[in-house]
Amino acid sequence: MKTIIFDLDGTILDTLPDLKTAVNFALAQYELPPVSLEYVRKAVGNGTRMLVRRCIPKGTPETLYNEIFETFRVYYAAHAFEETKPYPGIKEVLIRLKADHQLAVISNKDNDLAKRIITRFFPYLFDIVQGSYLDKPKKPHPYLIEKVLRENNIKREECLFIGDSEVDKETATNAKIKYKLVNYGYRTKEELLNTCPKDTSIDSIPALFAEIIEWKN
């Protein structure tokens, strides 16, 4: 059975509104200026620590940054489901794929939070959910993919990674597995053309399903 690994944010779930709210809550506690949804969209991709770092003013002391991140982390863990929602049609595609594929999620979100989110929005659909750890490398480092492949006896040639950003391309490339990129998430078609000029991105959920079936066959 072939395995399809999905990125979480921007690929199967639109989490931007809750991320923005959590970032701005943390910033407000320290009387720092808020950021826009568009700013957060461009700042995501390398984990929440990097997201917060990109949203605070340059020159912020490291001790203050750590306090802001901890405020963000606690708030987001408690409010991660308020405006987050699956992309239209993705759940139906996952149900169809599950019939003859092993489905996995690999995310830079905290491991426990990633599992909670998947349980909330996609109960029983994913066979494997792997988030990140504070003391381990995050995507685009291949650590998380390598861990999933090793622990589940998955062959690289029977695995496909689906993501929405240059970070996901780098992750799959570093892990030496095939990948496909979508542009309905947090990177536009034009942005992906700029960062991944050799790749053709996928612009809809139905087109993604067709591409996966073509890969399988």
Please give the C-alpha separations between residue 208 and each of 82, 142, 180, in angstroms, as whole numbers. Answer: 27, 23, 9
- At 110-153, the pLDDT tens digits run 999 999 999 999 999 999 999 999 899 999 999 999 999 999 99
- For the entire predicted model, the pTM comes to 0.94
* Alpha carbon distance, N-terminus to C-terminus of the chain: 12
DSSP 3-state of 6: strand
Residues marked active site are found at 7
- At 19-65, the pLDDT tens digits run 999 999 999 999 999 999 999 999 998 889 999 999 999 999 999 99
91 vs 1: which has the higher pLDDT: 91
- At 157-167, the pLDDT tens digits run 999 999 999 99
pLDDT at position 216? 84
pLDDT at position 1? 86
Concatenating the DSSP letter of every residue in 154-200 gives --GGGEEEEESSHHHHHHHHHHT-EEEEBSSSSS-HHHHHHHSTT-P
Q: Domains in the chain, start-ordered, CATH in brackets? A: 2-14+85-216 (3.40.50.1000), 16-78 (1.10.150.240)
Please give the C-alpha separations between residue 16 and each of 62, 81, 102, in angstroms, as whole numbers. Answer: 25, 11, 27
- At 77-104, the pLDDT tens digits run 999 999 999 999 999 999 999 999 999 9
CA 23 to chain centre: 17
CA 141 – CA 40 distance, rounded (Å): 22
Of 6, 10, 49, 11, which Cα lies nearest the Cα of 148? 6
pLDDT at position 45? 84
